[in-house]
Chain A
Amino acid sequence: MDSFFIATGVALCLLMLLTLHRTVHGPTAIDRIMGVNVIGTKTTILLIIIGSIYHRVDMFVDIALAYALLNFIVTIAASRYFHHRKNLSSRGYGYKFRAEDD
């Protein structure tokens, strides 16, 4: 069962690397916040998997809970920061921004 959890953790790390492409190359800043949010959710689960591998889940579950709280606060704070901000980067697929219209 340990090797199964190790394989699951490796697969989660590969999916996090794929999500990192959207975080680095995202057309707008909002896409980057979304990528960070998805990576944070995967990290919460990866921490509990690491705890199951080391048989110390009672310690790692607290870290995972704190990480989930921190991820939520980071997402809310960053999205409040970009609220009403008109000059997001405009390169990307068919984006046109409202600031160009008025």
Chain B
Amino acid sequence: MDIVVIMLTVIGLFSFFATTVGLLRFPDFYSRMHAAGKGDTLASLLMLLALALYNFHEVNLANLLVAIKILSIVVFIFMASPTATHAITDAAFESGVKPWTKEPEEES
């Protein structure tokens, strides 16, 4: 059981690391939002699943309730994170943030 917990946590940490690197190094708002929206959701799923497994080591009613609450956080994040990503990207698009192109546009 501990090996599964450690593996899920390490994969989740790697996903968070990839999110942070993408957030710092991508050249554009939209590509940064792409990295932040997807990596964050996947990493929260993996790490919260690992923590729910770790807290369910001894089977009784209280631990079952805690595991169900942690899984409810997963369900909430899976509904909330794409909605928040869409809202931020829509706000950026409506306020006119231009996407990054390879050739730099001439300054007018």
Contacts and interface: CB of A to CB of B under 8 A. Distances in A.
Given A30-B29, A34-B36, A15 B16 contact: yes
B101 A94 contact: yes
Secondary structure type dominating chain A contacts = helix
Interface string A65-77: 1001101100110
Interface string B78-108: 0011011001101110111110110011001
Contacts, number: 148
Contacts of B65: 58
B54 A88 contact: no
B94 A83 contact: yes
A1 B54 contact: yes
B96 A93 contact: no
Interface string B41-61: 001100110010011000000
Top 6 A-B pairs, shortest CB-CB distance: A98-B96, A72-B80, A79-B91, A75-B84, A79-B87, A30-B92
Interface of B: 2, 5-6, 9, 13, 16-17, 19-20, 23-24, 27-29, 32-33, 36, 40, 43-44, 47-48, 51, 54-55, 62, 65-66, 69-70, 72-73, 76-77, 80-81, 83-84, 87-88, 90-92, 94-98, 100-101, 104-105, 108
